[in-house]
Amino acid sequence: MGNLTETPGNVTNRFVQPPWRVALWSVAYAVVLLVSLLGNLTVIWIIAAHRRMRTVTNYFLLNLAFCDASMTAFNTLVNFIYALHSQWYFGNSYCKFHNFFPVAAVFASIYSMTAISVDRYLAIIHPLRPRLSATATKLLILCIWAMAVALAFPLCYYSCTKTRPERTLCYVAWPRHSQDSFLYHIIVTVLVYVLPLVVMAITYTIVGINLWGAEIPGDTSGNYQEQLKAKRRVVKMMIIVVVTFAFCWLPYHIYFIVTGVNKLLSRWRYIQQVYLSVLWLAMSSTMYNPIIYCCLNSRFRSGFKRAFRWCPFIKASSYDDLELQTGHFIAARQSSTYTVSRVESSMEGMTSATAPLRLLLVKIYSVVSHCNNFTPKTMV
């Protein structure tokens, strides 16, 4: 997020760093910028370009990827430059946007995760209740963004720049200065961190107990076990996403609360290094989700293979193409394969004299079945 507590008097140019330290921080932030943009834009492409990936959960993941990619593109580099030089180079309008957008994006991100946790809870604990439709999911995402804009609007309204002889500052000119700034940080911490994490902790705890600790006795059918494993994989992936988010943003919220309580800390010799560290950790949260999806979800992994198949060390197989095809096409192929296998088994009783005829009939049936069940692939 932006430098929300900054006022004209608490930033000086005494925090001058040696070139080697500037180079190290530049590399660290460049890694976040590259990995986050590349990973999240790929996630957006995988979901938007493949019909099979357009599920309720993935719509929220699409919104999450959009938030992360946008915050990386519009704020990470600017935040780093401003924190490094204590000099604002980007004008008054971008100052307002710079302080406004990260809060809105983080709000939309974490409440997308919260919506996924509630959706998983309803699907697993109350499977007979109606599920969210695609239209309802999109409306819910719009509502989340509307609330995000409302929460972040005061930052846009009160943000301004001030030019001094030695530098230009971008700060939030609250009416009551430090009191309003500290109160706003407490509100943001509760609404954008504590409250959604508590909701997700409750929902995922109940879901986890149901999935890992309450298996149906005697039900060992393959279909049931496969569905159970699929649900566990999705829940496990989302728990890792939430824990990663919580870990990355906790130091950031602690930093602003502590410096809000003790104003003298803002003049501590090493406070710039502390701020650059907590800022990097918070911004790095935008690059981990695509890695988690790729490692823990076979369809996203297939999508990443297809997206990066131009790399010499990445190979996309026909299985990866099949993973991203529509369910109808896959079902048709499975049905034709099953039917051919039944024809083969029914012919096993034929004598060796009729073996050539048997082989010919199987081939003909396979070709005809494939032609009848063929459906064009989704354009990507």
Instruction: Give the dihedral sign, CA 61/201/143/131.
Output: positive
Split at pLDDT 50, 70, 90, the class of 279 is: very high
Output the average pLDDT for the chain.
82
* Three-state secondary-structure class, residue 296: helix
pTM of the model: 0.79
Per-residue pLDDT of 22-33, as tens digits, reads 899 999 999 999
Across the range 141-150, mean pLDDT stands at 97
Q: Which residue has the higher pLDDT, 258 or 362?
A: 258
Closest CA to 66 of 34, 43, 96: 43
Q: Are strands 159-163 and 168-172 parallel, antiparallel or unpaired?
A: antiparallel
Separation between Cα atoms, residue 324 and residue 21, nearest integer Å: 45
For a pLDDT cut of 70, what percent of the chain falls above it?
79
Per residue in 154-178, pLDDT tens? 999 999 999 888 888 898 999 987 7
Task: Read off the pLDDT of residues 181-230 as tens digits, 9 standing for 90 and up.
Answer: 889 999 999 999 999 999 999 999 999 998 887 655 555 566 777 888 88
